[in-house]
Chain A
């Protein structure tokens, strides 16, 4: 029971941290939108992860907004990875397998999404 509660607590902290980081990044992006006069309906440039660092350095809103979006999408995935580590550490093979299967589903989604876009 203690192991379960420890895992619950670790996952909870990850979710809280990921959410606040993501919302913080998006809030910076929104403030930069307001400062630079970008309308929410202006239509953003297409998603290009390689462009994010340069956009952030240049204080362009898209850099912070895309990074915030990536962080919030990664937060639940990170939760599954942390759970997987916890289950492996406690020898819960069945739950570890389920965690891996969830990550496989996410991976298949990425592959299918990229394939469909080409």
Chain B
């Protein structure tokens, strides 16, 4: 189980995936846990990696704490809802949802641009799908991109407070479409709680494309949000007996060490072949998970 967590952390870090999308299938298909048990353990692992990486992002002033806290009010509310729904859904229904997530992740990885990561201030990542860059724990995954320009007109009111200043992460930028961000965060929270993922796959594009937040900042802020989002539902899992410490302990330790190693070796490895291999693994896992859903 430690090795399984280590592998999930290592490959997640190398490929820019969150741990959940790898851990949940591993725990269910290889170790025979129920989907709900696996999701509970995965939420713990996701908090471990996201807290470590969010700390580095904050230290470098890449993450937008105000924006993250505003959106996480809604992602945590969604997670609360999802945590309650999860105990009402059957294992088959959760497996069906996870199959869709695996297929979507495989598609996103297959379509990812093959550009090498340019030297840029490195960021950290425990979540989302982006290109790896070497660095600290969980560090990976930030595609260099021209920050969204300063000519964007922010929403009035609270959005003006969330505007990011120049820093290690990006040039100044203005936050827009906060309403869309609220709805998207709510959805991301529900998905996180149901599937044991960080849901960066939802939040990063939402903040970057719809809200005008530079990709590096969106990735960092998404990471920051994961902790409280996952904690909101993990508490429900914990109280309702959905987290087994004998499984969660070894897995979390393995993920932590694997993610740390991955972040330090990613610059020495050509991840393109690994990425395509992993697309195949994801598709195979989706097939297995679909079989579980149709049981």
Interface residues of A (CB under 8 A from B): 1, 4-5, 7-9, 11-13, 15-16, 18-19, 22-23, 26-27, 29-30, 33, 38-44, 46-47, 61-62, 64-66, 68-69, 72-73, 75-77, 79-80, 83, 92, 94-95, 98-99, 101-102, 105-106, 108-110, 112-114, 116-117
Contacts and interface: CB of A to CB of B under 8 A. Distances in A.
A33 B236 contact: no
B80 A109 contact: yes
Contacts of A108: 80
The size class of the interface chain B forms with chain A is: 35 or more
Given A5-B61, A23-B48, A117-B239, A12 B55 contact: yes
Nearest to A112: B84
A77 B245 contact: no
Contact of B55 (A15, A64, A83): A15
Contact of B253 (A27, A98, A110): A27
Interface residues of chain B: helix, strand, loop or mixed (majority) = helix
B246 A38 contact: yes
B249 A72 contact: no
A41 B250 CA distance: 11
Interface string B68-93: 01101100110010011001000000
Interface residues of chain A: helix, strand, loop or mixed (majority) = helix
Given A76-B47, A113-B235, A23 B252 contact: yes
Given A40-B1, A47-B241, 9 more contacts: A18-B51, A61-B245, A61-B246, A64-B249, A66-B245, A79-B227, A102-B69, A102-B72, A102-B76
Interface of B: 1-2, 31-32, 44, 47-48, 51-52, 54-56, 58-59, 61, 63, 65-66, 69-70, 72-73, 76-77, 80, 83-84, 87, 158, 161, 165, 227-228, 230-236, 238-241, 243-250, 252-253, 256
